[in-house]
Amino acid sequence: MTESFGARLRHSMDERGPLCVGIDPHASLLAEWGLNDDVAGLERFSRTVVEAMADRVAVLKPQSAFFERFGSRGVAVLERSVMEARAAGALVVMDAKRGDIGSTMAAYAESFLHKDSPLFSDALTVSPYLGYGSLSPAVALARESGSGLFVLALTSNPEGGEVQHAIRADGRNVGATMLAHLAAENEGDEPLGSFGAVVGATLGDLSTYDLSINGPLLAPGIGAQGATPADLPRVFGAAVRNVVPNVSRGVLRHGPDVVALREAASRFADEITGAVSGG
């Protein structure tokens, strides 16, 4: 049987440290690297990040939109980046935040979670705001392929609160409801469930939420958005060992020098490991 994403992630974080580095080739970062905002610049950027990181960090998270904006040639770069990163041992979380219903959701899932897809990734970010049940095709395919999902639950952007903090008829807010669904998906899975939540590291005290979903918590916000590794135990409490902190600009701004990128990632990984161990 295919080893589950949760099991692979637990092993990778224990071996390499709990760090996820984003691959976010937006125009301003390409310019900082001295690259043109074109397909050649995109490819140079992505290859450099994969070369620097894929053999040492637990997770790489390409943001699909920054590749899609270049059309089919950009998607081809994304395909190669995913393949090369996974071949070097990194787990790839595709940050595409897909969400739809029925056959359309199934098609999105097949794009990233079917083993025959050129964009096959270890996990995919998804949006549940057409109802958690709308994710059923992605959940089913992830189980079949040994992949995982990260469901938007408590995001760090200020606009998210108008949906995620809305109170349902049962008195529970929407974000807490998503966490409860994920806990049910992961029940009994060892050593870690494959269905995670996106929970911002910038949100402060989350003690009113039950984060014990037996699955990973993808935590954006470390570095440029203001959160630090030292914040993780305070924000995530007893669930901190299952947190996958995401750092993008805090590492990527040290490029295009491969050694500098590796050193920056190593510093973050060491700080995060120390904070999690202390928590």
The full set of domains in the chain, from first to last, is 5-278 (3.20.20.70)
Is the pLDDT at 279 greater than 50, yes or no?
no
Over residues 102-126, mean pLDDT: 98
Per-residue pLDDT at 226: 80
**8 Å CB contact between 253 and 32:** yes
Length of the chain: 279
Which positions are catalytic? Answer: 97
Q: Which among 91, 61, 55, 90 is positioned nearest to 78, based on CA atoms?
A: 61
Rounded to two decimals, the pTM is 0.97
Mean pLDDT score of the chain: 96
φ, ψ for residue 39, nearest 5 deg = -65, -35
Over residues 242-252, mean pLDDT: 96
Over residues 233-247, mean pLDDT: 96
